[in-house]
Amino acid sequence: MAKGKKTIYFCQNCGHEETKWLGQCPACKEWNTFVEEKVIGSSASANVRTEREVKIVALSEVSADDHTRIETGMAELDRVLGGGIVPGSLVLVGGDPGIGKSTILLQVCQRLAQERSVLYISGEESLSQIKLRANRMGEFKENLKLLCETNLGTIRNVIENRRPELVVIDSIQTMYSEEVSSAPGSVSQVRESTNVFMQLAKGLGITIFIVGHVTKEGTVAGPRVLEHMVDTVLYFEGDRHASYRILRGVKNRFGSTNEIGVFEMRQNGLVEVENPSEYMLSGKPENASGSVVACSMEGTRPLLIEIQALVCESNFGMPRRTAAGTDYNRVNLLMAVLEKRIGLHMSNCDAYVNIAGGIKMNEPAIDLGIVMAIISSYKNRPVDEKMIVFGEVGLSGEVRAVSMPEQRVTEAKKLGFEVCVIPEVSMDMVKSIKGIKIIGVKTVNDAMNLI
């Protein structure tokens, strides 16, 4: 029995549902975000089957092997996906406008179309615009088919008929279903479209990549449930003014998250950066105070970054503090630790902390780097150029252990660094590594004595 049409008010910010209009969303507390949308209730009992009609199997009888993963040929992307594309999965790629979402997916299509059938569906660009981008990338095989379409029903028919192995939807916010009366990009349209693509992916075993626009806060536009519905969520980030881009996995049902892939945007598309540490450290000033190299783990891979600090006397009563690329509150906390535990008087100093290269880092292991950069700038004494540091700093000024010290030290050695400053407690774990001087520190005071 069909329930018929009903009207629901959706918060366009978080997807919260109400039966009547409200000025403020009770869930996310945003004002004036409710929009009326008509939804059609699904018929209640048409698809219900009895137990005899469905198949129940024991988990031990289900066969699945990991060899079915499809490698894209872009090692950085494969790493973020957890070793390649899982057939039948739904992958959401989000990112700022112009960051390169369409570019990377067209490149994936280019590689996979070598031997598989691929369908690229664009709701944003015309065929000739896609061709313009493709011209920069080089050769494309016949197997790559394009379709400019936004009607969900049509797209579903095409996919069911053609059964391509890979489908790219660019973007989910442009797709609309005629069964939902609200405008494309609204909460119920996005949810309905994603649902259809999920059924297609799982039912036919097709991998579907979906491009998602982001809101000004940096999350994918549309309801939060969108991220729950898909198997994998990848975010593209990077500095508008720098050419490198970072692809970060935030959810992955078939692999670890926290892995990052580093790419460089070039004329001919996105090129993988094989040694990101080297890339991040290029252009590091020589013998400058306030510059320290720290090591952060991104998933299973260590990344060396340069932390810069500038501490100078404040002209006003209120000292200014800014942090670019790292948590502002963390910097304030670390400065308070320095003030209290080693008596650096910074209450009348402005302090600016920056992670060079525009990358964002929030791992606690860079605390020691921030602390040393601040001390170095305050005392105007440069730290040893061939030194890297890592360690978490606690409120009593102690330097605490962080994960995977061996990998970090090995990476530093590989890039030609000569000294590593690490938490004292981790010394045992790295004593087998030869050819690099390792110094253990217990407190921030010990670290200060090294500058």
Ligand X SMILES: Nc1ncnc2c1ncn2[C@@H]1O[C@H](COP(=O)(O)OP(=O)(O)OP(=O)(O)O)[C@@H](O)[C@H]1O
**Binding residues for ligand X (CB under 6 A):** 95, 97-103, 124, 136, 265, 267
15 binds, among Mg ion, ligand X, none (CB under 5 to 8 A by kind): none
Residue 102 or 426: which CB sits closer to ligand X? 102
**Of the listed pieces 97-105, 226-234, 277-285, 423-431, which binds Mg ion according to CB under 5 A?**
97-105
Closest CA to 159 of 211, 105, 121: 121
Residue 238 or 391: which CB sits closer to ligand X? 238
Q: For residue 419, list its beta bridge partners.
A: 387, 437
Residue 122 binding Mg ion, by CB under 5 A: no
Residue 81 or 134: which CB sits closer to ligand X? 134
Tokens of 89: 């999965």
Give 186's contacts (C-beta < 8 A, 6+ positions apart). Answer: 10, 12, 35, 37
H/E stretch holding 157: helix 152-162
| Chain length of the chain | 451
β-strand pairing of 118-122 with 144-148 = parallel
Residue 95 or 255: which CB sits closer to ligand X? 95
**Of the listed pieces 66-74, 94-102, 337-345, 378-386, which binds Mg ion according to CB under 5 A?**
94-102
432 binds, among ligand X, Mg ion, none (CB under 5 to 8 A by kind): none
Strands (E), 118-160: 118-122, 144-148
Residue 18 or 124: which CB sits closer to ligand X? 124
Smallest gap from residue 106 Cβ to ligand X (A):
7
Residue 219 binding Mg ion, by CB under 5 A: no
Residue 234 or 438: which CB sits closer to ligand X? 234
**Of the listed pieces 99-107, 110-118, 133-141, 270-278, which binds Mg ion according to CB under 5 A?**
99-107
- Contacts with Mg ion by CB under 5 A: the residue count is 1
Residue 131 or 437: which CB sits closer to Mg ion? 131
95 binds, among ligand X, Mg ion, none (CB under 5 to 8 A by kind): ligand X
Site string for Mg ion, 240-279 (x = CB under 5 A): ----------------------------------------
100 binds, among ligand X, Mg ion, none (CB under 5 to 8 A by kind): ligand X
327 binds, among ligand X, Mg ion, none (CB under 5 to 8 A by kind): none
Residue 102 or 296: which CB sits closer to Mg ion? 102
Cβ-based burial of 26 (10 A; exposed 0-12, middle 13-18, buried ≥19): exposed
267 binds, among ligand X, Mg ion, none (CB under 5 to 8 A by kind): ligand X
Tell me the DSSP string of 299-341. TTEEEEEEEEEEEEE-SSSS--EEEESS-HHHHHHHHHHHHHH
446 binds, among Mg ion, ligand X, none (CB under 5 to 8 A by kind): none
Inter-helix orientation angle 127-137/101-112, to 10° = 70
Of 12, 72, 89, 102, which lies in the binding site for Mg ion, with binding defined by CB under 5 A? 102
Evaluate whether 422 touches 438 at the Cβ level (below 8 Å).
yes
Measured between alpha carbons, how far is 186 from 37 in angstroms, rounded to an integer? 9
Smallest gap from residue 342 Cβ to ligand X (A):
45
Residue 214 or 297: which CB sits closer to ligand X? 214
Evaluate whether 86 touches 207 at the Cβ level (below 8 Å).
yes
> Cα–Cα distances in Å, from 396 out to 158, 328, 342, 448?
63, 19, 10, 15
Evaluate whether 421 touches 450 at the Cβ level (below 8 Å).
yes
Give 279's contacts (C-beta < 8 A, 6+ positions apart). Answer: 244, 262, 264, 273
Measured between alpha carbons, how far is 262 from 163 in angstroms, rounded to an integer? 32
Residue 354 binding Mg ion, by CB under 5 A: no
Residue 60 or 267: which CB sits closer to ligand X? 267
Tell me the DSSP string of 217-245. TSSBSS-THHHHHSSEEEEEE--TTSSEE
Smallest gap from residue 346 Cβ to ligand X (A):
39
218 binds, among ligand X, Mg ion, none (CB under 5 to 8 A by kind): none
Smallest gap from residue 100 Cβ to ligand X (A):
4
Binding site for Mg ion (CB under 5 A): 102
